[in-house]
Structure 1
């Protein structure tokens, strides 16, 4: 499981010539990092200085932290799904019967492979909502961490969108392929919203240091 690997071990596998893990798993790890940074920013928005917002900050910290294992699970799901896709593509295709069986297996695997990135997009939407709420009162000293978290969430959404685009191209069932348009559009909106909020936080950091 990816959650039990060392960072070095995962990156070594990611850089290898093996089919998995790939961009989908990496995007899910970006979401996990984004959740962790949101939780950190919220955790430091406590104490007498932030008494007015402490209850909300603790709630957001807990929610963000709870999403970390969900993101890691999606990384595992993505790797397993694309292992099945890779296995299907390796099936023999010498005869007409083999080509038909291989094509069916590939399409079945692709239909399952779109599930993790679609779920990841939903997760990034939830994380963006937490970030938007937290940005309204977060400890100013943690604005950079919050901005970094939003950039990680942006990367996760954009990565999931890229994976769906590749899958859509290879799925022959137009009915299935068309269902990917809405989540892909949502991912684009989430990425843009993360970028805007991150820029707002950077502007606040610059203004505070003038």
Structure 2
């Protein structure tokens, strides 16, 4: 999905994988790392849902209420993360448009500065929302690990790794936008930056737990 596609309402969900990768490789502002982060979270959520759906055998009956809840939550997280990929492209486009506003008069400069701040805030809030989605993916994956179908346990680790990539990439996107904001506006994101460190630690621990489950 190109920058023009982001403007005309085309969704990442409507794009083929080949078209998405071609757009990602192209010399266009969006999609970029922000969309990649959101799609990492979406893939992690999809993997959790897949493992949960494989954990609906007769022998899993006692855990079925938990499994069904995880499936529903993971499906919702996937859709939310996919929507955030679109939101990131739109936010990035808005930042570029704000910087192109007129700055001839003092009124122009003030209006432009206000628009830039608003656009940068939204551009940081989108990856912050991706962090929240990825955080949920890690939590769902950790909850599923003890009861999940062992035949697909590696996909729980892959889900954790995808969520980790989502938050690590989001950290970069938050940081670059916050760097252009004043301290007061940027302070909004301090809790998210701390949350990122916690999610990365939990994702790494879950990855190691899966390795231990495989190797004994």
TM-score by length of 2: 0.88
What is the CA-CA distance between 1:59 and the residue it aligns to?
2.0
* Partner Cα distance (1:188, 1:79) in 2: 25
* Partner Cα distance (1:20, 1:103) in 2: 23
**Which consecutive unaligned segments of at least 5 residues does structure 1 have?**
none
Q: CA RMSD in A?
A: 1.6
**Is the CA contact (8 Å cut-off) linking 1:157 and 1:191 kept in structure 2?**
yes
What is the CA-CA distance between 1:99 and the residue it aligns to?
4.7
* Partner Cα distance (1:105, 1:58) in 2: 44
Corresponding residue of 2:209: 200
Listed one character per residue, the Cα deviations across residues 47-101 of structure 1 (whole Å, up to 9, x for unaligned) are 12322222321221222112211111111111101100011223355x4645554
**Which consecutive unaligned segments of at least 5 residues does structure 2 have?**
1-10
Corresponding residue of 1:63: 73
5 Å-filtered alignment, 1:86-101, equals 86-93=96-103, 95=104, 97=106, 99-101=109-111
Q: SS of the residue aligned with 1:179?
A: helix
Is 1:162 the equivalent of 2:172? yes
Corresponding residue of 2:7: none
Corresponding residue of 2:189: 180
**Is the CA contact (8 Å cut-off) linking 1:161 and 1:188 kept in structure 2?**
no
5 Å-filtered alignment, 1:1-210, equals 1-93=11-103, 95=104, 97=106, 99-172=109-182, 174-207=183-216
Q: Comparing 177-186 with 60-69, which one deviates more in the overlay?
A: 60-69
TM-score by length of 1: 0.91
What is the CA-CA distance between 1:186 and the residue it aligns to?
0.1
What is the CA-CA distance between 1:161 and the residue it aligns to?
1.3
* Partner Cα distance (1:190, 1:56) in 2: 22
Aligned pair count? 205
Listed one character per residue, the Cα deviations across residues 119-171 of structure 1 (whole Å, up to 9, x for unaligned) are 11111222222111101211111111111011001111111111111111111
